[in-house]
Amino acid sequence: MLWLPVLLFLIHLGGWGYRGFVLLCVVLGAWEWWRFGKPLAGGGEFALLIVGTAGVLLCASELNAEHLGLFLALFASVSCLISLRHSDGRALERIGHLVVGILYVGLLPAFLIRIRALPIGREALFLAYGAVFICDTCAYGLGRTLGRHSLWPRISPRKTWEGAAGGLLGALAAAIAGQAWFAGFLDLASALGFGLIVGTLGQMGDLVESLWKREAGVKDSSRLIPGHGGVLDRFDNIHFIAPILYTYLILVS
């Protein structure tokens, strides 16, 4: 957890400090996504994923629709062309892996940068990361101690309904405490809505990544973060809900 104070400092700093952190997560996440696709993805696909995820992140974080649309169109064209190198009958699967990769790994977290750019952005990100981490901790702790009923055994046999309930309660408690402590831009009802998004859709985001890891035949996306797995393992929840939280904050603040 030594990286947590660094993250909090970069959120406080904002600007290119926090943007650089998200960019680093995206580049490392692209490498992990590329590993999911082996042996489907080769070296050319790896380079394209790095460029694609970073480019989508930077375009979307500025919310420039023209630049983002042009970049996505160029990426689609290059993905189609690079598939001509192979003759294994998996061209559509290979292109899909690339396109979904840049959307999932690069586009979703761009909205964390957009949240930081809001007038309430610093406090909103403190609340978002805090609620997500507390949700994860409560889900893990309650699932380990009281978990009896599997939540979705086909995807993640170890996750339980009891753990999911604990995660939801933890997210709601974190949102209420944050609203009373530093997130005064939310009223109590809006804070409960914030916690509900984190505690439900955030955990669904974790299940989505678990599904892809299961299909790739790996336990963790990587071992970059000791005790947590990879970047996609640690930040899958908050990246998944970033555009939803951004929309929610625009509506309620």
Got the DSSP string for 192-207?
Answer: HHHHHIIIIIHHHHHH
pLDDT over 90 at 40, yes or no: no
For the segment 16-45, the average pLDDT, to the nearest whole number, is 86
pLDDT band for position 28 (cuts 50, 70, 90): very high
In sequence order, the 6+-apart residues with CB closer than 8 A to the CB of 163 are 139, 140, 142, 143, 144, 146, 147, 151
> 3-state class of 138 per DSSP?
helix
pLDDT of residue 67 exceeding 70: yes
Residue range 216-251, pLDDT digits in tens: 888 888 888 877 788 999 999 999 999 999 999 999
Residues 118, 242: contact at Cβ < 8 Å?
no
How much is the pTM? 0.93
Cα-flanking dihedrals φ and ψ of residue 157, to 5°? -60, -25
Exposure string of 78-95, with b = 16+ CB inside 10 Å and e = fewer, is: ebeebbeeeeeeebeebb
Average pLDDT of the residues of the chain: 90
**CA distance to 88, 95, 134, per residue, from 79 (Å):** 16, 6, 39
Residue 37 CA to its chain's centroid (Å)? 18
